[in-house]
């Protein structure tokens, strides 16, 4: 993902793994649309896209006719639309709010304010990638030699602007121990596991096995999983974790099979303002994402089947063995460990 003159450019994740195509968003509205339809997705990545979207909005508003008040009003309206593009990952709201606060505190003329927002967006991008690298380093201590890591969805470079959270842990582990293997559930309905995680791991030369979501229990029972390592979209103050739908089920299975559950996420994913997972908004997506799957080129569901399609679920903190942020490894009780470990201002706030 990058902010260039007049656009935000990104890999269009909806076209992977068949095609590595660049999507060029020339307006903030196009960035909103890219986030909504998951051309760019993953909590840190949509935060970065949001920050770049605000910078793009400011550059366009600075170039348009009008006074400083009109400039600020335009950027504020675009920032509000970007912030609302998806509700669950707190990184998006965090990044847009950081940009809005920067603009509010920037007294200069529009062109100077727009330049400051562009710099800040690039800094947010660099910082997120650096956080991922640190998460990978800290998590290595939790893994054993020859680890067989099950993950879920895609928490890789694509989801974070580079390196990855859960897949960053895999990358760091693999660099030290090439015998690491990964089990990749396909992650219905939108198949981020098979389309994106298997693609990333293949490019990195990391051994992996793709399974359907319904194979997870049998795979664990067969002893093929030593650790469950997942990312997060939002972590409540008590350590409850919202992540891709299916994560809760995998965590329950892991508990039954004595497998540690490790959540890898930057502090920009921690939301101290939300006390428990019950307060995390869960995005409900279109029914056609579930009905739309085809088998042998034919629809695999009746066109009028009633559908539920929550994009995320909440794994209670009691099922989570450790949360790894760039600050280190946090253990229960998370109310204390997550917050005591965070210097003021570092918890994504
Ligand atoms: O709907 P998505 O594909 O944006 O969901 C993404 C996830 O659930 C990821 O696991 C999460 O954002 C962490 S990405 C480092």
Which residues have a Cβ under 8 Å from the Cβ of 43 and sit 6 or more positions away? 89, 90, 91, 92, 159, 231, 232, 233, 234, 265, 268, 269
**Residue 160 CB–ligand 1 contact under 6 Å:** yes
Residues 290 and 174 in one domain: yes
State residue 107's pLDDT score: 85
DSSP code for 209: E
Q: Report whether 51 contacts 96 (CB < 8 A).
A: yes
CATH code: domain of residue 112: 1.20.120.420
Residues 263 and 313 in one domain: yes
Mean pLDDT of 60-67: 93
Give the Cα separation of 333 and 97 in Å (integer). 29
Q: Report whether 323 contacts 263 (CB < 8 A).
A: yes
State residue 108's pLDDT score: 81
pLDDT band for 343, please (50, 70, 90 cuts).
Answer: low
pTM of structure: 0.97
Residues 162 and 188 in one domain: yes
Distance 128 CA to ligand 1 centre (A): 15
Q: Is the pLDDT of residue 307 over 90?
A: yes
Asked which of 100, 132, 164 is the last residue of a domain, the reply is 132
CA of 46, closest atom in ligand 1:
4
Can you give the residue range of the structural domain that contains 62?
Answer: 2-132
Q: For residue range 166-214, what is the model confidence (pLDDT) as tens digits?
A: 999 999 999 999 999 999 999 999 999 999 999 999 999 999 999 999 9
Positions marked catalytic? 233
Q: Which of 13, 16, 88, 89 to mutate to test the pocket of ligand 1 (most atoms within 8 A of CB)?
A: 89
Q: For residue range 271-298, what is the model confidence (pLDDT) as tens digits?
A: 999 999 999 999 999 999 999 989 999 9
Domains of the chain: total: 2
> Is position 347 within any domain?
no
> Is position 305 within any domain?
yes
Residues 172 and 150 in one domain: yes
CATH code: domain of residue 263: 3.40.50.10470
Cβ burial, residue 344 (10 Å; 0-12/13-18/19+): exposed
Q: Report whether 58 contacts 114 (CB < 8 A).
A: yes
């Amino acid at each position: 993902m990058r902010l260039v003159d007049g656009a935000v450019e990104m890999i269009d994740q909806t076209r992977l793994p068949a095609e590595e195509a660049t999507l060029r968003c020339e307006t903030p509205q196009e960035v909103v649309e890219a986030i909504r339809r998951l051309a760019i997705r993953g909590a840190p990545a949509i935060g970065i896209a949001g920050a770049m979207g605000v910078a793009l909005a400011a550059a366009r508003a600075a170039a348009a006719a009008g006074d400083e008040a009109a400039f600020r009003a335009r950027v504020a309206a675009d920032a509000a639309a970007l912030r609302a593009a998806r509700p669950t990952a707190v990184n998006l709201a965090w990044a847009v709010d950081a940009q809005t606060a920067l603009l509010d505190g920037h007294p200069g003329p529009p062109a100077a304010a727009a330049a400051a927002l562009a710099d800040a967006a690039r800094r947010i991008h660099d910082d997120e990638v650096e956080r991922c690298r640190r998460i990978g380093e800290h998590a290595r201590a939790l893994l054993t030699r020859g680890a067989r890591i099950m993950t879920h969805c895609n928490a890789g470079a694509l989801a974070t602007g580079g390196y990855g959270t859960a897949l960053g842990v895999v990358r760091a582990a693999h660099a030290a121990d090439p015998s690491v293997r990964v089990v990749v559930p396909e992650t219905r309905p939108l198949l981020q596991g098979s389309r994106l995680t298997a693609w990333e791991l293949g490019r990195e030369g990391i051994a992996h096995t793709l399974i359907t979501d319904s194979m997870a229990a049998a795979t664990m029972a067969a002893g093929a999983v030593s650790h469950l390592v997942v990312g997060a979209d939002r972590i409540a103050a008590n350590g409850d974790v919202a992540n891709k739908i299916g994560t809760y089920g995998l965590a329950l299975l892991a508990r039954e099979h004595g497998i540690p559950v490790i959540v890898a996420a930057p502090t920009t994913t921690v939301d101290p303002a939300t006390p428990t997972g019950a307060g995390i908004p869960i995005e409900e997506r279109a029914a056609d994402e579930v009905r739309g799957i085809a088998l042998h080129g034919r629809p695999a569901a009746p066109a009028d089947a009633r559908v539920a399609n929550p994009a995320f679920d909440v794994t209670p903190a009691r099922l989570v063995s450790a949360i790894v942020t760039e600050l280190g490894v946090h253990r229960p009780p998370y109310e204390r460990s997550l917050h005591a470990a965070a210097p003021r201002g570092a918890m994504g706030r």
